[in-house]
Amino acid sequence: MLSDEQRQAAADAILDAERTRVPCVQLSKQWPDMTLEDAYDVQRRWTRGRSERGARVIGRKIGLTSRAMQMASNMTEPDYGVILDDSLYHDGARIAAGTFIKPRLETELAFVMGRDLAGCGCQMHDILAATDYVSPALEIIDYRTEVPRAIVDTISDNAAYGAIVLGGRIVRPLDIDLRWQAATLSKNGVIEESGVSAAIMGHPAAGVAWLVNKLADQGDGLKKGDIVLGGSFTRPIDIASGDVVFADYGSLGSIGVSFE
């Protein structure tokens, strides 16, 4: 376990990497004894640092929701990070690729909370009852440390969160069977990936229920109005300046963004 000074140094390294767009050395190499508890505390310190620079937390993201990704990361459960207001985009946005270091993009569903939700024992039906609406979303992921990364590097680095793009048609969570919401993901006119949301732990609300239970351990929870990215159901695609990305969610509409 790291000391208080080491945790702060780790958070500062990621903050500096984000500011300079130059990835830092993996924290797991600098501190081989780093634990998951250390990593989440580094993430909280990073969040506090971003807040001091004017950003505001508007939600949460969940990662590693597929068994394949968990096995690749030597994890048995997902991870989570925060969503900041200065990284929120909407359908049709022109996004500066230089905002990120090495961005990639995934298709997801975003849950927008209609009321506060906290406490142990949260289940999927609690999520569906507490959700105001669900929206198609894209997550841009980014690495602010060098690769390859251990799981403590990813968690410390805000679970690789870069930005969120919202668009398409919103829907009440019980108006459709969310398990079978599908999407195709295209780059520059070519379909690169496709998937169905049942790939997210069997149901996209399952990850959100997991998150509420994990936050309860920290004495925290979800707030009314929070945006929660439920996890990707396609593999990420690389993006760079000049790329145009289009995600088609069928009856839920589409999201298109370009990078410059």
CATH of domain 56-259: 3.90.850.10
User: What pLDDT was estimated at residue 100?
Assistant: 98
Q: Say which residues have a Cβ less than 8 Å from residue 81's Cβ, sequence separation at least 6.
A: 43, 60, 61, 63, 155, 158, 159, 160, 161
* Beta carbons of 38 and 7 less than 8 angstroms apart: yes
Angle at 116 between CA 110 and CA 118, to 5 degrees: 95
Is the pLDDT reported for residue 126 higher than 80?
Answer: yes
Give me the torsion for CA of 181, 178, 139, 13, rounded to 10°: -150
User: What pLDDT was estimated at residue 222?
Assistant: 98
Q: Tokens at residue 186, please?
A: 């295209």
Is the pLDDT reported for residue 109 higher than 70?
Answer: yes
Q: Average pLDDT of the chain? A: 95
Is the pLDDT reported for residue 68 higher than 70?
Answer: no
Is the pLDDT reported for residue 77 higher than 90?
Answer: no
Q: Name the DSSP letter for residue 24.
A: B
Tokens 């145009």 belong to 244
Q: Tokens at residue 110, please?
A: 């975003």
Q: What is the arithmetic mean of pLDDT over 82-107?
A: 97
pLDDT digits (tens, 9 = 90+) for 3-31: 999 999 999 999 999 999 999 999 999 99
Exposure string for 218-254, b = 16+ CB within 10 A, e = fewer: eeebbeeebbbbbbbbbbbbebeeebebbbbbeebbb
User: What pLDDT was estimated at residue 72?
Assistant: 58
Q: Say which residues have a Cβ less than 8 Å from residue 242's Cβ, sequence separation at least 6.
A: 259, 260
DSSP 58-118: EEEEEE--SHHHHHHTT-SS-EEEEEEGGGEEETT-EE-GGGSSS-EEEEEEEEEESS-EE
Is the pLDDT reported for residue 184 higher than 60?
Answer: yes
C-alpha span between 94 and 258 (Å, rounded): 5
User: What pLDDT was estimated at residue 73?
Assistant: 57
Ramachandran area for residue 9 (φ above 0: left; ψ -120 to 50: alpha; else beta):
alpha
Question: Could you give the percent of the chain with pLDDT greater than 90?
Answer: 94
User: What pLDDT was estimated at residue 192?
Assistant: 98
Residue 10 CB-density burial (10 A; 0-12 exposed, 13-18 middle, 19+ buried): buried
Q: With bands split at pLDDT 50, 70 and 90, how would you rate the model's confidence at 66?
A: confident
Is the pLDDT reported for residue 164 higher than 70?
Answer: yes
Q: Considering the entire predicted model, what is its pTM?
A: 0.96
Residue ranges per structural domain of the chain? 56-259
Give me the torsion for CA of 78, 79, 83, 89, rounded to 10°: -50
Is the pLDDT reported for residue 75 higher than 70?
Answer: no
Is the pLDDT reported for residue 181 higher than 80?
Answer: yes
pLDDT digits (tens, 9 = 90+) for 215-228: 999 899 999 999 99
HSE toward the beta carbon, residue 246, CA cutoff 13 A? 9
